[in-house]
Amino acid sequence: MSGTDKTKAGHDLAGPVVILVEPQLGENIGMTARAMGNFALTRLRLVKPRDGWPNIAAQRAAAGADHILDKVELFDTVEQAIADLTLVFATTARAHDQAKPVVGPEAAAGEIVAHVGAGGGAGILFGRERSGLTNDEVALANRIITFPVNPGFASLNLAQAVLLMGYEWFKLSTRGALPFAMPERSEPASQHQMQAFFDNLVAELDRVEFLRPPEKRDTMLVNLRNIFTRMDPTKQDMHTLHGVVMAIAEGRKGPAKGGVLDGAQATRLRALLAEQGQGGATADNSSTVRGLARLLRRNPTDAERLLWQALTKDRRFAGGFKRQTPVGRHIPDFVSFTHRMAIELVNAGETEAIARDRAGRRAWLEERDYRVIEMAVADVERDLAAELARLEAGLQGR
Protein backbone atom coordinates (compact mmCIF):
# COMPACT_ATOMS: atom_id res chain seq x y z
CA MET A 1 0.00 0.00 0.00
CA SER A 2 1.04 3.63 -0.38
CA GLY A 3 3.56 4.60 2.27
CA THR A 4 4.56 1.02 3.04
CA ASP A 5 8.20 0.15 2.43
CA LYS A 6 8.42 -3.64 2.41
CA THR A 7 12.21 -3.51 2.42
CA LYS A 8 12.15 -2.29 6.02
CA ALA A 9 11.67 -4.54 9.03
CA GLY A 10 8.72 -3.75 11.27
CA HIS A 11 8.82 -3.38 15.05
CA ASP A 12 8.45 -6.55 17.12
CA LEU A 13 6.94 -5.28 20.37
CA ALA A 14 5.06 -6.96 23.19
CA GLY A 15 1.76 -5.13 23.33
CA PRO A 16 -1.83 -5.41 24.52
CA VAL A 17 -4.44 -7.75 23.07
CA VAL A 18 -7.18 -6.06 21.04
CA ILE A 19 -10.57 -7.65 21.74
CA LEU A 20 -13.58 -6.91 19.55
CA VAL A 21 -16.85 -7.90 21.18
CA GLU A 22 -19.47 -9.14 18.70
CA PRO A 23 -18.23 -7.05 15.74
CA GLN A 24 -20.96 -6.75 13.14
CA LEU A 25 -19.15 -5.92 9.89
CA GLY A 26 -16.25 -7.80 8.37
CA GLU A 27 -14.98 -4.53 6.91
CA ASN A 28 -14.56 -3.10 10.42
CA ILE A 29 -12.57 -6.15 11.49
CA GLY A 30 -10.30 -5.73 8.47
CA MET A 31 -9.81 -2.00 9.05
CA THR A 32 -9.08 -2.74 12.71
CA ALA A 33 -6.35 -5.16 11.64
CA ARG A 34 -4.94 -2.49 9.35
CA ALA A 35 -4.90 0.06 12.19
CA MET A 36 -3.21 -2.47 14.45
CA GLY A 37 -0.55 -3.14 11.83
CA ASN A 38 0.20 0.59 11.63
CA PHE A 39 1.28 0.53 15.26
CA ALA A 40 2.80 -2.96 15.63
CA LEU A 41 -0.14 -4.51 17.48
CA THR A 42 -0.44 -8.15 16.42
CA ARG A 43 -2.85 -9.96 18.77
CA LEU A 44 -6.52 -9.74 17.80
CA ARG A 45 -9.34 -11.64 19.52
CA LEU A 46 -12.96 -11.79 18.36
CA VAL A 47 -15.96 -12.57 20.54
CA LYS A 48 -18.81 -14.02 18.46
CA PRO A 49 -18.41 -12.04 15.20
CA ARG A 50 -21.86 -11.65 13.70
CA ASP A 51 -20.96 -12.86 10.19
CA GLY A 52 -18.70 -15.69 11.31
CA TRP A 53 -15.03 -16.26 10.68
CA PRO A 54 -13.06 -16.23 8.41
CA ASN A 55 -14.63 -13.31 6.59
CA ILE A 56 -13.71 -12.29 3.04
CA ALA A 57 -14.83 -8.68 3.62
CA ALA A 58 -12.35 -8.42 6.48
CA GLN A 59 -9.53 -9.68 4.30
CA ARG A 60 -10.32 -7.12 1.61
CA ALA A 61 -10.43 -4.23 4.08
CA ALA A 62 -7.23 -5.24 5.89
CA ALA A 63 -5.09 -3.81 3.07
CA GLY A 64 -2.24 -6.23 3.63
CA ALA A 65 -2.55 -6.86 7.38
CA ASP A 66 -3.02 -10.58 6.71
CA HIS A 67 -0.42 -11.53 9.32
CA ILE A 68 -2.86 -10.26 11.95
CA LEU A 69 -6.00 -11.83 10.51
CA ASP A 70 -4.25 -15.18 10.07
CA LYS A 71 -3.68 -15.37 13.85
CA VAL A 72 -7.12 -14.20 15.01
CA GLU A 73 -8.40 -16.01 18.12
CA LEU A 74 -12.14 -16.73 18.47
CA PHE A 75 -14.10 -16.84 21.73
CA ASP A 76 -17.73 -17.35 22.70
CA THR A 77 -17.73 -14.98 25.67
CA VAL A 78 -15.87 -11.92 26.92
CA GLU A 79 -14.94 -13.84 30.07
CA GLN A 80 -13.12 -16.43 27.97
CA ALA A 81 -11.40 -13.79 25.86
CA ILE A 82 -9.86 -12.04 28.89
CA ALA A 83 -9.28 -15.07 31.14
CA ASP A 84 -5.45 -15.03 30.78
CA LEU A 85 -5.08 -11.24 31.15
CA THR A 86 -4.21 -9.36 34.33
CA LEU A 87 -5.06 -5.81 33.23
CA VAL A 88 -8.16 -5.11 31.14
CA PHE A 89 -9.47 -1.82 29.81
CA ALA A 90 -12.98 -1.22 28.46
CA THR A 91 -13.43 1.54 25.88
CA THR A 92 -16.68 3.48 25.93
CA ALA A 93 -18.10 6.87 25.00
CA ARG A 94 -20.87 6.59 27.63
CA ALA A 95 -20.69 6.91 31.40
CA HIS A 96 -21.66 3.53 32.86
CA ASP A 97 -21.78 4.87 36.44
CA GLN A 98 -19.39 2.22 37.69
CA ALA A 99 -16.93 2.79 40.53
CA LYS A 100 -13.70 2.26 38.64
CA PRO A 101 -11.00 4.56 37.27
CA VAL A 102 -11.73 6.41 34.02
CA VAL A 103 -8.61 7.32 32.03
CA GLY A 104 -7.78 8.81 28.67
CA PRO A 105 -5.88 6.93 25.96
CA GLU A 106 -2.47 8.39 26.84
CA ALA A 107 -2.73 7.45 30.53
CA ALA A 108 -4.04 4.00 29.61
CA ALA A 109 -1.13 3.50 27.20
CA GLY A 110 1.30 4.39 29.99
CA GLU A 111 -0.19 1.76 32.29
CA ILE A 112 -0.16 -0.85 29.52
CA VAL A 113 3.50 -0.23 28.66
CA ALA A 114 4.51 -0.56 32.30
CA HIS A 115 2.32 -3.62 32.90
CA VAL A 116 3.44 -5.52 29.82
CA GLY A 117 7.05 -4.51 30.48
CA ALA A 118 6.79 -6.16 33.89
CA GLY A 119 5.57 -9.39 32.30
CA GLY A 120 1.82 -8.94 32.71
CA GLY A 121 -0.88 -9.50 30.11
CA ALA A 122 -3.03 -6.54 29.07
CA GLY A 123 -6.06 -6.25 26.84
CA ILE A 124 -8.44 -3.59 25.54
CA LEU A 125 -12.15 -4.28 24.96
CA PHE A 126 -13.97 -2.61 22.08
CA GLY A 127 -17.73 -2.93 21.81
CA ARG A 128 -20.28 -3.43 19.07
CA GLU A 129 -20.53 -0.84 16.31
CA ARG A 130 -24.15 -0.05 17.12
CA SER A 131 -24.36 -0.28 20.91
CA GLY A 132 -20.86 -0.60 22.34
CA LEU A 133 -20.17 -2.63 25.48
CA THR A 134 -22.87 -3.64 27.95
CA ASN A 135 -22.70 -2.72 31.66
CA ASP A 136 -21.81 -6.32 32.49
CA GLU A 137 -18.96 -6.34 30.00
CA VAL A 138 -17.60 -3.03 31.31
CA ALA A 139 -17.80 -4.46 34.82
CA LEU A 140 -15.27 -7.15 33.84
CA ALA A 141 -12.58 -4.50 33.14
CA ASN A 142 -10.14 -2.96 35.58
CA ARG A 143 -10.27 0.48 33.96
CA ILE A 144 -12.48 2.46 31.62
CA ILE A 145 -10.95 4.30 28.66
CA THR A 146 -12.84 7.20 27.14
CA PHE A 147 -11.61 9.54 24.42
CA PRO A 148 -11.51 13.35 24.62
CA VAL A 149 -13.94 13.94 21.75
CA ASN A 150 -16.78 16.30 20.97
CA PRO A 151 -19.50 15.31 23.49
CA GLY A 152 -22.16 16.23 20.95
CA PHE A 153 -20.74 13.70 18.48
CA ALA A 154 -18.75 11.18 20.47
CA SER A 155 -19.23 8.00 18.45
CA LEU A 156 -16.06 6.65 16.85
CA ASN A 157 -15.73 4.07 14.13
CA LEU A 158 -14.39 0.81 15.57
CA ALA A 159 -11.12 0.96 13.64
CA GLN A 160 -10.68 4.63 14.56
CA ALA A 161 -10.92 3.81 18.26
CA VAL A 162 -8.37 1.02 17.88
CA LEU A 163 -6.08 3.32 15.91
CA LEU A 164 -6.16 6.02 18.61
CA MET A 165 -5.21 3.53 21.31
CA GLY A 166 -2.59 1.92 19.11
CA TYR A 167 -1.04 5.30 18.39
CA GLU A 168 -0.73 6.26 22.05
CA TRP A 169 0.71 2.87 23.01
CA PHE A 170 3.18 2.78 20.11
CA LYS A 171 4.31 6.35 20.75
CA LEU A 172 5.25 5.49 24.32
CA SER A 173 6.78 2.13 23.39
CA THR A 174 9.06 3.68 20.77
CA ARG A 175 9.60 6.97 22.65
CA GLY A 176 8.01 8.86 19.80
CA ALA A 177 10.74 8.01 17.30
CA LEU A 178 9.80 9.03 13.77
CA PRO A 179 10.44 6.56 10.93
CA PHE A 180 12.57 8.99 8.96
CA ALA A 181 14.07 12.46 9.11
CA MET A 182 15.26 15.03 6.62
CA PRO A 183 18.42 13.63 5.00
CA GLU A 184 21.58 15.63 5.53
CA ARG A 185 22.77 15.90 1.95
CA SER A 186 25.62 18.31 2.52
CA GLU A 187 27.71 19.83 5.28
CA PRO A 188 26.68 23.22 6.65
CA ALA A 189 28.11 26.09 4.65
CA SER A 190 31.14 27.74 6.20
CA GLN A 191 31.20 31.43 6.96
CA HIS A 192 33.91 31.83 4.31
CA GLN A 193 31.68 30.21 1.67
CA MET A 194 28.68 32.32 2.65
CA GLN A 195 30.77 35.47 2.54
CA ALA A 196 32.09 34.61 -0.91
CA PHE A 197 28.55 34.05 -2.17
CA PHE A 198 27.31 37.26 -0.59
CA ASP A 199 30.18 39.29 -2.08
CA ASN A 200 29.37 37.88 -5.50
CA LEU A 201 25.66 38.63 -5.06
CA VAL A 202 26.35 42.22 -4.00
CA ALA A 203 28.69 42.74 -6.96
CA GLU A 204 25.99 41.63 -9.39
CA LEU A 205 23.36 43.76 -7.65
CA ASP A 206 25.65 46.78 -7.92
CA ARG A 207 25.98 46.18 -11.65
CA VAL A 208 22.24 46.54 -12.10
CA GLU A 209 22.04 49.38 -9.54
CA PHE A 210 19.68 47.47 -7.29
CA LEU A 211 21.05 48.84 -4.00
CA ARG A 212 19.58 52.32 -4.29
CA PRO A 213 19.27 54.96 -2.94
CA PRO A 214 22.80 55.11 -1.42
CA GLU A 215 21.55 56.04 2.05
CA LYS A 216 19.58 52.78 2.24
CA ARG A 217 22.36 50.55 0.94
CA ASP A 218 23.65 49.43 4.35
CA THR A 219 20.17 48.55 5.60
CA MET A 220 19.38 46.62 2.44
CA LEU A 221 22.62 44.65 2.74
CA VAL A 222 21.85 43.72 6.35
CA ASN A 223 18.37 42.54 5.37
CA LEU A 224 19.76 40.50 2.49
CA ARG A 225 22.40 38.89 4.68
CA ASN A 226 19.80 37.97 7.30
CA ILE A 227 17.68 36.22 4.66
CA PHE A 228 20.51 33.81 3.91
CA THR A 229 21.79 33.33 7.48
CA ARG A 230 18.27 32.41 8.65
CA MET A 231 18.29 29.58 6.11
CA ASP A 232 21.21 27.74 7.78
CA PRO A 233 22.33 26.82 4.24
CA THR A 234 24.50 23.83 3.35
CA LYS A 235 27.49 23.86 1.05
CA GLN A 236 25.31 22.48 -1.72
CA ASP A 237 22.76 25.25 -1.12
CA MET A 238 25.51 27.82 -1.59
CA HIS A 239 26.71 26.17 -4.81
CA THR A 240 23.16 26.19 -6.15
CA LEU A 241 22.48 29.81 -5.18
CA HIS A 242 25.78 30.89 -6.68
CA GLY A 243 24.84 29.15 -9.93
CA VAL A 244 21.44 30.84 -9.93
CA VAL A 245 22.97 34.30 -9.49
CA MET A 246 25.54 33.73 -12.23
CA ALA A 247 22.93 32.31 -14.64
CA ILE A 248 20.76 35.39 -14.15
CA ALA A 249 23.74 37.71 -14.44
CA GLU A 250 25.19 36.13 -17.58
CA GLY A 251 21.87 35.51 -19.28
CA ARG A 252 21.08 32.84 -21.84
CA LYS A 253 24.16 31.14 -23.24
CA GLY A 254 23.32 30.30 -26.82
CA PRO A 255 20.67 28.13 -28.44
CA ALA A 256 21.45 25.02 -26.38
CA LYS A 257 19.83 26.80 -23.44
CA GLY A 258 16.48 26.93 -25.20
CA GLY A 259 16.88 30.00 -27.39
CA VAL A 260 15.93 30.77 -30.98
CA LEU A 261 18.17 29.70 -33.85
CA ASP A 262 18.72 32.12 -36.67
CA GLY A 263 18.79 30.91 -40.25
CA ALA A 264 22.57 30.59 -40.38
CA GLN A 265 22.72 28.54 -37.18
CA ALA A 266 19.91 26.30 -38.35
CA THR A 267 21.69 25.79 -41.67
CA ARG A 268 24.91 24.78 -39.93
CA LEU A 269 23.07 22.32 -37.67
CA ARG A 270 21.19 20.85 -40.61
CA ALA A 271 24.49 20.46 -42.48
CA LEU A 272 25.96 18.56 -39.55
CA LEU A 273 22.82 16.44 -39.31
CA ALA A 274 22.95 15.66 -43.03
CA GLU A 275 26.64 14.76 -42.89
CA GLN A 276 26.15 12.49 -39.88
CA GLY A 277 23.13 10.87 -41.49
CA GLN A 278 25.25 9.81 -44.46
CA GLY A 279 27.75 8.00 -42.27
CA GLY A 280 25.85 4.77 -41.77
CA ALA A 281 23.92 3.39 -38.81
CA THR A 282 26.70 2.96 -36.25
CA ALA A 283 25.84 3.40 -32.58
CA ASP A 284 27.95 6.56 -32.25
CA ASN A 285 26.53 7.97 -35.48
CA SER A 286 22.95 7.25 -34.40
CA SER A 287 23.53 8.94 -31.05
CA THR A 288 24.97 12.02 -32.76
CA VAL A 289 22.07 12.24 -35.19
CA ARG A 290 19.53 12.01 -32.34
CA GLY A 291 21.41 14.70 -30.40
CA LEU A 292 21.47 17.10 -33.33
CA ALA A 293 17.81 16.40 -34.06
CA ARG A 294 16.91 17.16 -30.45
CA LEU A 295 18.85 20.40 -30.63
CA LEU A 296 16.89 21.46 -33.71
CA ARG A 297 13.61 20.43 -32.10
CA ARG A 298 14.26 22.35 -28.89
CA ASN A 299 15.55 25.46 -30.64
CA PRO A 300 13.22 26.28 -33.53
CA THR A 301 13.99 29.13 -35.91
CA ASP A 302 11.64 32.09 -36.19
CA ALA A 303 10.16 30.58 -39.35
CA GLU A 304 9.55 27.25 -37.61
CA ARG A 305 7.89 28.98 -34.69
CA LEU A 306 5.61 30.97 -37.01
CA LEU A 307 4.61 27.94 -39.02
CA TRP A 308 4.17 25.71 -35.95
CA GLN A 309 1.88 28.25 -34.26
CA ALA A 310 -0.22 28.42 -37.41
CA LEU A 311 -0.40 24.64 -37.77
CA THR A 312 -1.56 24.23 -34.16
CA LYS A 313 -3.99 27.16 -33.99
CA ASP A 314 -5.42 27.41 -37.51
CA ARG A 315 -8.61 25.35 -37.71
CA ARG A 316 -7.64 24.12 -41.15
CA PHE A 317 -4.65 22.26 -39.74
CA ALA A 318 -5.08 22.12 -35.93
CA GLY A 319 -3.95 18.83 -34.47
CA GLY A 320 -2.99 17.40 -37.83
CA PHE A 321 0.78 18.00 -37.83
CA LYS A 322 3.70 17.09 -35.58
CA ARG A 323 7.05 18.86 -35.43
CA GLN A 324 10.44 17.14 -35.73
CA THR A 325 8.88 13.68 -35.41
CA PRO A 326 10.68 10.61 -36.82
CA VAL A 327 9.16 8.85 -39.82
CA GLY A 328 11.18 5.70 -40.04
CA ARG A 329 14.81 6.83 -39.86
CA HIS A 330 13.98 10.29 -41.26
CA ILE A 331 12.91 13.43 -39.37
CA PRO A 332 11.05 15.96 -41.55
CA ASP A 333 10.41 19.43 -40.16
CA PHE A 334 6.65 18.79 -39.93
CA VAL A 335 4.63 15.67 -40.68
CA SER A 336 0.98 14.70 -40.73
CA PHE A 337 0.44 10.95 -40.47
CA THR A 338 -3.29 11.47 -41.04
CA HIS A 339 -2.80 13.31 -44.33
CA ARG A 340 0.41 11.45 -45.30
CA MET A 341 2.13 14.79 -45.84
CA ALA A 342 5.50 16.26 -44.83
CA ILE A 343 6.67 19.89 -44.83
CA GLU A 344 10.33 20.80 -45.36
CA LEU A 345 11.64 24.31 -44.65
CA VAL A 346 14.43 25.47 -46.97
CA ASN A 347 16.93 28.02 -45.65
CA ALA A 348 18.77 30.30 -48.03
CA GLY A 349 22.36 29.34 -48.73
CA GLU A 350 22.03 25.69 -47.78
CA THR A 351 24.94 23.38 -48.59
CA GLU A 352 24.97 20.57 -51.10
CA ALA A 353 25.01 18.08 -48.24
CA ILE A 354 21.73 19.49 -46.93
CA ALA A 355 20.19 19.44 -50.41
CA ARG A 356 21.24 15.82 -50.98
CA ASP A 357 19.93 14.84 -47.56
CA ARG A 358 16.58 16.51 -48.22
CA ALA A 359 16.32 14.91 -51.67
CA GLY A 360 17.00 11.48 -50.20
CA ARG A 361 14.45 12.05 -47.47
CA ARG A 362 11.89 13.23 -49.98
CA ALA A 363 12.41 10.19 -52.21
CA TRP A 364 12.09 7.88 -49.22
CA LEU A 365 8.87 9.54 -48.06
CA GLU A 366 7.31 9.64 -51.53
CA GLU A 367 8.01 5.94 -52.00
CA ARG A 368 5.82 5.43 -48.95
CA ASP A 369 3.00 7.57 -50.30
CA TYR A 370 3.84 10.78 -48.44
CA ARG A 371 3.50 14.08 -50.26
CA VAL A 372 6.37 16.45 -49.48
CA ILE A 373 5.85 20.23 -49.65
CA GLU A 374 8.92 22.47 -49.50
CA MET A 375 8.59 26.01 -48.15
CA ALA A 376 11.31 28.61 -48.37
CA VAL A 377 12.05 30.18 -44.99
CA ALA A 378 12.01 33.63 -46.58
CA ASP A 379 8.51 33.01 -47.99
CA VAL A 380 7.19 31.85 -44.59
CA GLU A 381 8.56 34.95 -42.88
CA ARG A 382 7.40 37.33 -45.63
CA ASP A 383 3.93 35.95 -46.43
CA LEU A 384 2.83 33.17 -44.11
CA ALA A 385 -0.81 33.40 -45.23
CA ALA A 386 0.14 32.57 -48.82
CA GLU A 387 2.17 29.54 -47.71
CA LEU A 388 -0.73 28.31 -45.57
CA ALA A 389 -3.09 28.69 -48.52
CA ARG A 390 -0.67 26.63 -50.63
CA LEU A 391 -0.59 23.99 -47.89
CA GLU A 392 -4.41 23.92 -47.71
CA ALA A 393 -4.60 23.46 -51.45
CA GLY A 394 -2.14 20.61 -51.19
CA LEU A 395 -4.25 18.93 -48.52
CA GLN A 396 -7.40 19.26 -50.62
CA GLY A 397 -5.58 17.89 -53.63
CA ARG A 398 -4.35 15.06 -51.49
Of residues 26 and 5, more confidence is placed in: 26
Strand partners, 376: 346
Nearest-angstrom CA–CA distance, 19 and 126: 6
The tens digit of pLDDT for each residue in 259-288 reads 555 556 666 666 666 555 544 444 445 555
CB of 162 within 8 A of CB of 106? no
pTM of the model: 0.50
Q: Which amino acid is at 130?
A: R
- Binning pLDDT at 50, 70 and 90, where does residue 184 land? low
Average pLDDT value over all residues in the chain: 83
> Domains in the chain and their CATH numbers?
17-173 (3.40.1280.10), 191-249 (1.10.8), 263-397 (3.40.960.10)
**Of the candidates 32, 35, 60, 27, the residue with the CA atom closest to the CA atom of residue 45:** 32
From residue 203, alpha-carbon distances to 150, 211, 223 in Å are 60, 10, 16
